[in-house]
A = this chain, B = another copy of it.
Amino acid sequence: MAILAVGSVAYDSVRTPFGSADNVLGGAATYFSVAASYFSDVAIVAVVGEDFREQDLDVLRGRGIDIDGLERAKGKTFRWAGEYSFALNDCKTLDTQLNVFGEFKPKLVEKHRKAEFVFLGNISPDLQREVVRQVERPRLVACDTMNFWIEKHFKSLLETLKLVDVLIINDAETRQLANEPNLYRAGRKILSWGPKALVIKRGEYGAIMLKDNSIFGVPAFPLEDVFDPTGAGDSFAGGFMGFLAGSGDLSEAAIRKAIIFGSVMASFNVEKFSLERLKELTFPEIQKRFKEFKQLTHFEDIE
């Protein structure tokens, strides 16, 4: 089993200028694992409530995702409601109901302890460490976080970062975490805390990867129809980790390709609500968009 992903599986209610969707399948672990499933085996560790629909399990099963670590608890599934304005980079959270997710204590089954790649979705840094400690010999640990944990659990987050190889966050989180307005100074500070690479997601502006000795940047895919940005960051992480796990290659060249595959998966995800676009992709479509990224960004070097 290649990738173990821990995080939320949720029901989302989303409003955008282009329409709305109520109680649709969402959650960080969902978007991540469906995106990663095009490249690698992936297992999900999460909790859902008694109200979780069979058809949504089928979305995960349909992508060959190992759901043996998907616990079903008494109570309701985690719910999130949000609204996007025309500036799709901004999202206003309307409602959050943790429900069964509030008591989530990930306990890995035997086979999941052998995972080589671990993705720690946006959960408490205490729980993130709990998960890493249960994995026998992880080859690569990637992690997401958010403003809440940075503000309220900073010290615990620093402890988690010591165990993390790749931190995948957005630019506001980067600046907030380092308490530094310049993105590159902020990034350098964060790298000194443990992660070997920092991947900064910038929504419609693309992504940047910082390492001690290199920086890589790519614009976002030019889309004339962005329908729903929900899950773009987790789809990015899924494409990124999926490619690395699938290829087993952690060279600089492979990591750069992984950033592009992450960007590809994020770009598909925002084309429809929920997992609608992400779950129906074909690998040739993914490859085609990768090549379009090459055309988008290529220029000849000078002598």
Contacts and interface: CB of A to CB of B under 8 A. Distances in A.
B224 A219 contact: no
Contact of A256 (B202, B222, B224, B299): B299
A55 interface: no
A222 B96 CA distance: 36
Interface string A274-303: 000000000000010011001111111110
Given A206-B205, A208-B222, A216 B299 contact: yes
Main secondary structure of the interface of A (DSSP, over half): mixed
Chain A interface category by residue count: 35 or more
Interface in A156-212: 181-185, 188, 202, 204-206, 208
A276 B197 CA distance: 35
A301 B294 contact: yes
Interface in A212-250: 214-220, 222-226
A182 B88 CA distance: 10
A219 B222 contact: no
Nearest to A294: B301
Contact of A257 (B219, B256, B299): B299
A11 B27 CA distance: 53
Contact of A302 (B202, B206, B257): B257
Given A86-B181, A182-B226, A291 B301 contact: yes
A291 B295 CA distance: 19
Contact of A224 (B182, B218, B220): B182
Contact of A290 (B222, B226, B297, B302): B302
A13 B51 CA distance: 62
Contacts of A297: 216-218, 297, 299
Contacts of A87: 181
Shortest 7 CB-CB contacts between residues of A and residues of B: A217-B219, A205-B205, A256-B299, A86-B181, A184-B224, A184-B222, A294-B301
Interface of A: 17, 86-87, 181-185, 188, 202, 204-206, 208, 214-220, 222-226, 253, 256-257, 259-260, 287, 290-291, 294-302
14 contacts: A87-B181, A182-B223, A182-B226, A183-B222, A206-B219, A215-B222, A215-B296, A218-B299, A257-B299, A259-B299, A287-B302, A290-B302, A294-B301, A297-B299
